[in-house]
Chain A
């Protein structure tokens, strides 16, 4: 398996005729972040709509000393497009089996962790416990195991979730258009797939085995999800795996090009950084510190003012509280990254990564209100 070309496809992986990957990789490859000057950054800030070149300038080292200006401009865009609304949701891990060998992940197939998937009854118990907190949006997550978390298993979980929640999102292994259509029919309307790194050279050794090894199949996930009927698609790079300037640029360009090709698509961005895992406690976001993360978030907001931006509990409470309303429009609350941790009496499996903000839904709501913002539980109708 290791010898499979990571730029090819596995059998039964659907290939779309789409120019987007070449466009994104081409643009990133020709961008030199060191050429931008303060003047370029100021020009990018002054523009009413921003070009990919402006976006690169905002991500460049030249923008770092102007972070306060970026934040002020980003806050204006966020207010204009989202008002005071901050959406809340929580992730629910339903299975942690995984057939991939990602070198940075706690769920990787060769890690000896407690594996499990929730039974239908276990899922219901978890859903009820979460619904009782007042949340109306849930994100169902699995490891990437075609055997233990196949489309039928996930579709059943979606149907159960849709009975309790207005919005059901998915963070599962990439699947074909027809599978996305099945999951949409079951009640899911949002799909997030993170490319991890958009640098194919770096992607290769980080993903030595499993179907995730195919870089292009993963890249085309959002397009397949939209063709399968999903309303909303999420993008992200796992910041810290490779040069963050290039990965953030690629993430934003990918999202912008998908929106252009599928204008009705709702676009969301996430900004995960590496966290210590069971596998390797020394894996730390070495070069993506909070300053850099904030710069990335501001650049995302300024380039894609209409996109929903999520900041997860991988980040500290103080960071999350200070970026909502400025750049972020969506936060998770009451989070557990283990399988089956929400309800009493449900068997639980090991977690994917450690979280840094363990506040309850009520506590996060209070923090949102304390900033003069409004917690929003639902902003979606499934039609």
Chain B
């Protein structure tokens, strides 16, 4: 049976979602192909109306995931999403609500509000969020199709800075968990997949590589390896550096039932 995952009723085999910002347009096609990506994000704020458009460089059959980059509130995110739908970008939307231009951290509260409205409008909503279990549960209730927690500040290439919290979401949330933002190297993508993430979204790491298509391929392989490792079930990791020769609980075994003292 194929190893797929589902978003908004659509099935995907590729677990690598590619960002399209920060690119040279002529490299996007090669990146998508080498990445084997079936979903590519698109910032509406970057979509030109009449001159050279990013849309001309995205291969057919790839699902567009417009994002609401530029939104500072839930209301602005909703307006941008509606605009994207009007422009023919489909029903998928990645909700990004950011009201801090220095760190570009998502506003979880406004993100929940936008998710609720857009899900009710019939969108397939993928909210970008700071990994917080309570917020993730609220996003599930709000009708999200997946949850996209950040690994580290966007564009920072710092890897799984939020590792422990990502693991909690992976363990507790039944929706697909797509780890987004901050992943700088293939090895970090591999580790997130091994932890049980559903998919990886990356942009800067690939867009700023010296050899863009080669880095896209490296990420694909790393994501596949991490997924395979997760499915294979990693063996137990011994944290004490070896078994104690006399286990502390050994005394319990030799005793059988508690002796009844007469």
Contact = CB atoms under 8 A, between A and B. Distances in A.
Interface of A: 79-85, 134, 136, 166, 231, 259, 263-267, 306, 369, 372-374, 376-381, 383
Given A81-B155, A259-B101, A383-B70, A136 B24 contact: no
Nearest to B78: A383
Given A166-B49, A264-B72, A377-B48, A84 B207 contact: yes
Contacts, number: 74
Contacts of A80: 155-157, 204, 208
Interface of B is mostly: loop
Interface residues of B, number: 33
A379 B69 CA distance: 10
B76 A374 contact: no
Contact of B100 (A85, A134, A263, A379): A263
B48 A85 contact: no
Contacts of A373: 24
A3 to B, nearest CB: 41
B101 A264 contact: yes
7 contacts: A84-B24, A85-B22, A136-B48, A136-B49, A263-B100, A378-B49, A380-B70
Interface of A: prevailing SS: loop
B90 interface: no
Interface of B: 21-25, 43-51, 70-72, 76, 79-80, 83, 98-102, 104, 155-157, 204, 207-208
B45 A259 contact: no
Given A80-B155, A83-B207, A378-B45, A383 B100 contact: no
Nearest to B51: A134
Nearest to A306: B102
A83 B48 contact: no
Contact of B208 (A79, A259, A306, A379): A79
A381 B49 contact: no
Contacts of A85: 21-22
Contacts of B45: 378-381
Contacts of A378: 45-49
Contact of A83 (B21, B70, B98, B156): B21
